[in-house]
Amino acid sequence: MNSRFSFLFNYTFEEAEMPRRGFLKGMAGGSAALLGISQTACSNDDPILSLRERSAAGAIDDGKLWQQVRQNFPVTGSLVMLNAANLCPSPYPVQKAVFEMTRDLDSDPSFPNRDKYNDYREESRRAIAEYLGAGVDEIALIRNTSEGNNIVINGIELGRDDEVVIWDQNHPTANIAWDVRAERFGFQVVRISTPMVPESKDELIRTFTDAFTSRTRAVAFSHVSNVSGITLPAREICSAARERNILTLVDGAQTFGIEVVDLHNIGCDFYTGSSHKWFCGPKEMGILYIRRELSEMLHPSIVGVGWEGAVNSGAIKFETLGQRDDSRIAAMKHAVDFHNSIDKNKVESRTRKLAGLVKSELKRKLPGVIIHTPESEELSSGIVIFTHNNINLSDAMYRLYRDYRIGCAVMGGQFAGIRFSPHIYNTEEQIDRAVDAVVDMAG
């Protein structure tokens, strides 16, 4: 068996019967994998240190760092995955956590054995809160961004005289959710359009503030648009809204796990994110941030098991969703540990570097390329959307996958084009290969 996979299958039924302390030790007690280092990436002579510690100590340079990070992901060697904006693979440490805890639950689903997962859930909540610069009571562990958005959309009290301002470059389902609720309750949804090629943060901010009126109760926008790759100045927009007593909902699907996010610094009222994208965490897990002062005014969409105990516990009351997969909730902490083992600042800078390389190489190698995403790092992040007159977008995604082994997405609408979204498991060589594939397709 490949040594990279062997540690995933060394779990025994005897381990499933360990007491809580032994189980915790087995999950986190010095395992190289859970420190963000695959077992094949560690020599027997090296101490078991996190990647961050080894890098800071000068034990590995950046090239070696990203090589070791890549070894933690199971992506097929010949496949270049550039679709982090949609779905990321989980690294081995996160898989290991999910697999082993699922095995533990399946081997003993009794209440006494499951009790320990209450503690694991709170460990995950604390880890996420620290990772995002939020209070522990401001974080709900939910299923994905869409659920978080809908909890807020359906929980705010709005009447016929109220308006909600939304960005037309939001994820379509988020905007549709506002429309559906407006049809029922009669408030107005105001869609705003920012310039296709924004030149500055101020230009983007003005688009929002010019739309605010005395009737505006809330503004909802994607931190980074999945359809254009444009990054909005969230802190400035939220500050302008707060001055006018306007609630702010920031869709963080494209920043959670890639950007260094400090929610208290951003100053938003609500923030949502999915684990399965840039965070590389367990599937069907997400986060909902609710500013502490607002948890009581937000009406619940779902009231399930645990409501009575959670109703006065801040954002936690919005995760009473019925029976959950406890192993995935507990594994959120291990996803945070993985990011921290690298250093989230390095995660952001690495991803931005790769996205910048996509842009520069496309411009250098493909005359006539149209890049919809701003070149400025201030106005963009990890997503790059581009097109060319010689490329048929209707089959571009399948041609890139079938003929060149490139996994990506193709977007429609006003920003129609191929979408590359590289992440920390990608290399510079893979970016070159992907760009060369596009050049070849363009003929």
Q: What CATH number has the domain bearing residue 353? A: 3.90.1150.10
Same domain, yes or no: 246 and 316: yes
Count: domains in the chain = 2
270-274 and 216-222 as β-strands: parallel, antiparallel, unpaired? Answer: unpaired
Which pLDDT does position 53 carry in this prediction? 65
pTM: 0.89
Backbone phi, psi, residue 32, to 5°: -60, -35
Same domain, yes or no: 249 and 287: yes
In this model, does residue 47 exceed pLDDT 90? no
CATH number at residue 181: 3.40.640.10
The whole-number average pLDDT for the span 351-371 is: 98
Quote the CA–CA distance of 122 and 128 in Å, as a whole number: 10
Quote the CA–CA distance of 75 and 65 in Å, as a whole number: 18
* Lowest mean pLDDT, pick from 86-95, 205-214, 311-320: 311-320
Same domain, yes or no: 287 and 265: yes
Which pLDDT does position 12 carry in this prediction? 31
Domain end point (choices 339, 369, 396): 339
Length of the chain: 443
pLDDT band for position 76 (cuts 50, 70, 90):
confident
Structural domain including 188 reads 123-339
Domain end point (choices 318, 339, 360): 339
Which pLDDT does position 6 carry in this prediction? 33
Residue with tokens 């977007």: 411
Q: Tell me the three state secondary structure of residue 422.
A: coil
Decide if 44 is inside a domain: no
The whole-number average pLDDT for the span 267-278 is: 98
Which pLDDT does position 51 carry in this prediction? 64
Which pLDDT does position 309 carry in this prediction? 84
Report the mean per-residue pLDDT for the chain.
Answer: 89
Decide if 320 is inside a domain: yes
Decide if 352 is inside a domain: yes
Tokens, residue 154: 């359906």
In this model, does residue 49 exceed pLDDT 60? no
The burial of 162, by beta-carbon neighbours within 10 Å (0-12 exposed, 13-18 middle, 19 or more buried), is given as middle
The burial of 93, by beta-carbon neighbours within 10 Å (0-12 exposed, 13-18 middle, 19 or more buried), is given as buried
Contact call for residues 360 and 386 (beta carbons, < 8 A): no
Quote the CA–CA distance of 122 and 131 in Å, as a whole number: 14
In this model, does residue 145 exceed pLDDT 60? yes
The whole-number average pLDDT for the span 284-301 is: 95
The whole-number average pLDDT for the span 94-115 is: 97
Least Cα distance to 327 among 114, 47, 89 occurs for 114
Same domain, yes or no: 351 and 328: no
Q: How many other CB atoms are found less than 10 A from the CB of residue 23? A: 19
Decide if 377 is inside a domain: yes
Residue 371's beta-bridge partner residues? 386
